[in-house]
Structure 1
Amino acid sequence: MTDTHWLTPEQQRMWRLLLDAHAVIFRRIDEQLHTDSELGSSEYSVLVRLSEAPETTLRLNQIGTYLGWDRSRCSHLIRRMEKRGLVDKKTCAEDGRGILVSLTDLGAERLSAAAPGHADLVKSMIFSDLSSDDIETLSTFYRRIIERRDLGNRP
């Protein structure tokens, strides 16, 4: 049995601040998105990725990877979005197994309605108190976390 390596008091404070800040940020983002466009944050994330994709289309598994979700959870989200007219879904002609998800005109309209308020909110909540050096330091920090996840390594 290995010894547990507990967080130091300083690490514990920082970790709890990170969790609390994350909750505040995403609760506020969800409120803004719902008010401006009747979208949830996951739906908004999908619409953003689709809007940036070639021909505004991605494979379902690409969306799942982006969200960090399993296929079932992602399929349920896309099914709900399709019922609301935000995306179209069809079988991939190349392999017949994959599902292609495309942005609809209504999805693009909802994204356009949400984006200005979203950008304003993110700027005011996140970037208003950060210097360029702070942004670079945090960007490096988050990039390292993502790289470890992508490599499947533990810190």
Structure 2
Amino acid sequence: MTDSVTGLLIPVPDEDGAPFWEYAARGELRVQACAGCGEPRFPPRPCCPRCQSFDSEWRRMTGRGRIWSYVLPHPPLLPGYAALAPYNTIVVELAEAPAIRLVGNLVTSADAPINSVDPAKLRIGAAVKVAFHDTGEGLTVPRWLLERP
């Protein structure tokens, strides 16, 4: 789905992932984990891929991690992104759950534009922390800030 004003992509929560977005709206980063074997998993799903249990819980994360990968898309694929190029999309490996990797944007503040960080500052392994951005479309999304800008 795209934002009605900016034309930027907005995630569409599904039944399994709805709690992720509810916690994000409260400023909490949580990931689903198996209540049977304890294995964290993302994206959320009904069954644990490790032990096949259908019991799950939502664990609060510190919101700290490292840039595992990134891309500077060229050319922009959607018109809403054209004025923002170059912008970044990063993959963050969570500190306490390294197998969990979340996709987002590296920004200078939670409400800054997605092109607010100089692309020269992007580094694999850079320490980041989560910040939450209200999209204005009834959804709050995690974004990422450099630990040491």
Q: Please report the TM-score for the alignment, with normalisation by the length of structure 1.
A: 0.25
Identify, as 1 or 2, the structure richer in helix.
Answer: 1
Compare CA radii of gyration and give the structure with the larger one: 1
Identify, as 1 or 2, the structure richer in strand.
Answer: 2
Q: Please report the TM-score for the alignment, with normalisation by the length of structure 2.
A: 0.25
